[in-house]
Amino acid sequence: MPSYTAPIEDMMFLFEKLRNNKNYNDLEKYKEVSSDLVKDILEEAAKINQNLILPLAKVGDENPAILENGVVRTPPGYKEAYQKYIEDGWTSLSCDPKYGGQGMPKTVSAFFDEMLSSSSLSFKLYSELSIGAYNCINHHASDEIKNKYLPKIVEGKWSGTMCLTEPVCGTDLGLLKTKAEKQNDGTYKLSGQKIFITSGDHDLTENIIHLVIARSTDSPAGTKGISLFLVPKYIVNKDGSVGSRNGVTTGSIESKMGIKGSATCVLNFDDATGYMIGKKDKGLNAMFTMMNLERIVVGIQGLGISEIAYQNSLAYAKERKQGKTNNTKSNNGADFIIEHADIRRSLLNMKSIIEGERALCFWLSQQTEVSLNHPDENIRQEASDFVSLMTPVVKSLFTDLGMEITNDAMQIYGGYGYTKDQGIEQLYRDNRITPIYEGTNSVQAADLVFRKLSNKNGNIINRYLDLIKSEIISMNGQTKPFIEQFSYYLDVLSKFSEWTIEKAKTDRDDVSAAANDYLKTLGYVSVAYSWIKVLEVSFKNYNENKKFYDEKINTAKFYFDKVLPRAEQHYKSAISGSSNIMNFRFN
């Protein structure tokens, strides 16, 4: 079984040294969230993840969730762990105190999300969708529904799901067939089938609150006729107690490549009672509140799995002997494989990507809080635009690189990495879903180039580039050589952005073919931007902790020399166009 130590030092470094966003620091509600408090939270989070949740990863893989006589049973130990998990209040960490939450910012909860992803993604998924459901209900439901459902979701006694996909439609939700018929009492009766529903049924909570998109019987076809409904597994009585079973049943659970401890269900809705959330025929707008936040969290899943893969690869490289290096340190026998240049390259590749991603995620968490809570509407909107721009990048780049890192981890382990004994191949299998669910990474790339670079608020990508330029222009000293290197790739991104926006007007196939390349170029440059911020702090505070900051500086140097050049490679590939692709004849 892989070992895991939560990277608290790096997380606290970000919280203490990179919390220099003025708009974020203007938020009154978080001024009492001190470094001491955050450190206490992270240390307690590390304990439950390392001691209780980490062992569940192997258990869930070897004893998957099963459907037995109509009941979904989670793997051994999940019930007991979940009970401890909610007793300690982890489901309530970032929720509003009005409903029993602790009110921590996403700059803190994102660190906890990463720890959970490292420890056991299957276990994490049972509570993760609950937080998504909480956010959606909190933003779009009536006060009556909020007061009735949110306290139990926050407490963890009830869980939540997101029910979109059907056999006839995946990403193209306009094709959905689930129907909702209005009743005389204002409720709706829903009938249809949903598939691939994460945590769609299980035995961990006393009720499951499904958020279901469906079409009212008098609504138009296509996406314009979709509404959002809250459909509980058990009807909730007026006094808040759990009542009779609703018309929701589990048809089957999927047998999957990874995340086997998580129940991925086919759900059948047969005249199930539902309550409309938000406005009629505006269901996708409401559901996207849940989906967009969930996409960022999926990116964090890729980051978390990358971290545990790196930690175990590093430990193995320090104890495994194989061959001799040019500057061998062994008089007889072999050298430790960490002495080999290629192994060191793989490890530094992992480390530079992971720490850069974590810093970018911290910046995005700040922007998310500003977009939700800043008193100035214009500042809120700009932050919201930046979050919109970066959401597909974080979701896609972090998960794609998670595949690269877990693959490299298996390679470092050699034949042992391919066997189940070490648990490394499970990390690869568990991560494989992350580039697929919540919209495949190709869908994310298309969303980025066709919808996110600019919108009704103007050219977002240029405002993002202007933000970066305004920050780096005042940086000097030891950071300057890195800024000069970074500026070259910033110019590449700027030219690529102009090419993409102009091509979208004349040849959408060119843009479609270039979408994944563009997303990766934007992603690599954005991670480099985060490294620039880390470098500025590292040089400024160098004498406080020379060993820590030396490691940061040298890791950043690897990223700039060995990883960032990928951005230009993607640009050059993309601007070759799509004619060969579209004219190729497949036999």
Would you please indicate which residues are annotated as catalytic (active-site) residues? Answer: 438
**Angular region, 79: left φ>0, alpha ψ -120 to 50, beta rest:** alpha
Contact between 164 and 42 under an 8 Å Cβ cutoff? The reply is no
For 229, phi then psi, to 5°, come to -130, 145
- Rounded distance, CA 2 to CA 574, Å? 39
Strand partners, 60: none
First vs last C-alpha separation in the chain: 46
- Rounded distance, CA 207 to CA 221, Å? 32
Q: What is the DSSP string of 351-414?
A: HHHHHHHHHHHHHHHHHHHHHHH-S-HHHHHHHHHHHHHHHHHHHHHHHHHHHHHHHHHHHHHT
SS3 content of the chain, % helix, strand, coil (to 5): 60, 15, 25
- Rounded distance, CA 158 to CA 242, Å? 10
- Rounded distance, CA 153 to CA 467, Å? 38
Stated as kind and residue range, the H or E segment containing 198 is strand 188-198
User: Beta strand 179-182 with 188-198: parallel, antiparallel or unpaired?
Assistant: antiparallel
- Rounded distance, CA 539 to CA 534, Å? 9
- b/e 306-319 (16+ beta carbons within 10 angstroms → b): bbbbbbbbbebbee
For the chain, what is the radius of gyration of the CA atoms? Answer: 24
> 3-state DSSP call for residue 192?
strand
The single residue listed with the structure tokens 């006060």 is: 143
- Rounded distance, CA 555 to CA 421, Å? 31
**Angular region, 414: left φ>0, alpha ψ -120 to 50, beta rest:** left
Strand partners, 229: 212, 276
User: Beta strand 188-198 with 264-277: parallel, antiparallel or unpaired?
Assistant: antiparallel
Strand partners, 250: 267
- Rounded distance, CA 235 to CA 233, Å? 7
For 264, phi then psi, to 5°, come to -100, 110
